[in-house]
Chain A
C-alpha cells in the first residue's frame, strides 16, 4: 500500500515544494512519480526513485529508498500545477499512491 502527503498543497510560482510517498513495505528504489493534469493521461517524471525521465525539466527531483520517498520541485512554474502520483514497481499488483493535488496560492 502506498500513501502520500499532503493530499493537497497550495504554493506560489517560484516556490520549492516537496511531496512525500510512503510504502507499507520495502520496495528498494522501485518507485516512480507521475504528473497528471485535468483531462489528461499521467506523465512519467521520475523512475527508480531519483532518475529523471528524458525530457523532464531538471527542477524536478526524486529521492528515497526502502519505504520513504520524496518528490521535489525546486522552483514552481505555472505548468507544474497538477496532481502527482507515486507508484511502486517492485511487484504486482502495481499500486499507486492516492495523489497530491498541487494548487496555485
Chain B
C-alpha cells in the first residue's frame, strides 16, 4: 500500500517562502495526480492544488498565484512552494494521492491516500 510522508520546516517567517516535500513510498508517482491540502488550527480543509505525473498543474485561485507544485519522478517526490507567507497560512499541510475510481459507467476523482500531515507556523 502506497504511503506518503510530508517534510519541511515547522516555523517560517512572514513574507518568506514555505517549501514542503511529500515522499511517496511503496508505489510509483507515475499515473496519478498528487495533491496538497491544508487545515488551519481548529478549521476545515482547504485544497491548495495538484500536479499530474505528466507535469500538468491546477491551483486554488484563492491563493492568488502564490503557489507552485512540482514533481521529481526520479526520487518519487513532489513539492509545494508557497510564497509571501502571512499568519493566515499557519496550518497543518497534507499531501494526498488523487486518483480516478470507476463506478456506474463513470470515473470519479477521490483523494484516497493521505500523508500524516506536517504543522507549519508562520511567525517572526
Residues of B within 8 A of A (CB): 35, 44-47, 58, 60-62, 94, 96, 101, 103-104, 106, 108-112, 114-117
User: Mostly helix, strand, loop or mixed at chain B's interface?
Assistant: strand
* Residue in B35, B45, B106, B111 whose beta carbon sits within 8 Å of that of A48 in the complex: B106
A77 within 8 A of B: no
B80 CB, min distance to chain A CBs, angstroms: 15
A88-100 interface code vs B (CB 8 A; 1 in, 0 out): 0100111111110
Contact B94–A95 (Cβ < 8 Å): no
Measured between beta carbons, the chain B residues less than 8 angstroms from A51 are 101, 103-104, 108
Most buried by B among A40, A93, A94, A95: A94
For A97, give the chain B residue with the smallest CB separation: B44
